[in-house]
Structure 1
């Protein structure tokens, strides 16, 4: 996790929303750079899927780690 805000937001999710979030995490693990880039420069991305939005930073280390900053709900 990249922030305590994201941890609190995740704690507020329902079980079905957690399942969606776990699917997003799996995609980010495999292809972290495929999210929607928030600016032309920088490493901040957003991934939206089935009403859940994850804002994250992609670290350019050899591991290409993801630090999750926010997890939000959106109406489907």
Structure 2
């Protein structure tokens, strides 16, 4: 996953939110660099979708995404 913080946050999601998170993961597999950059330089991104926000780091050399945070926002 990338972070024990993210794992704990995912465990607290209800089933509909987990489904949304899975949609985000599918997009990240196809286009991980299309998230919103956290700074002008670096490889940390945020992807917001349907009330779920995923903060992640893009590991270019390994072609992997490591999820650091998963937050749910009231809609």
Structure 1: runs of 5+ lacking an equivalent = none
Scaled by the length of structure 1, the TM-score of the pair is: 0.96
CA RMSD of aligned residues (A): 0.7
Runs of 4+ residues deviating >4 angstroms: none
Give, in whole Å, the separation in 1 of the partners of 2:30 and 2:60: 15
Count of paired positions: 75
What is the aligned partner in structure 2 of residue 75 from structure 1?
74
Give, in whole Å, the separation in 2 of the partners of 1:35 and 1:16: 22
Scaled by the length of structure 2, the TM-score of the pair is: 0.97
Structure 2: runs of 5+ lacking an equivalent = none
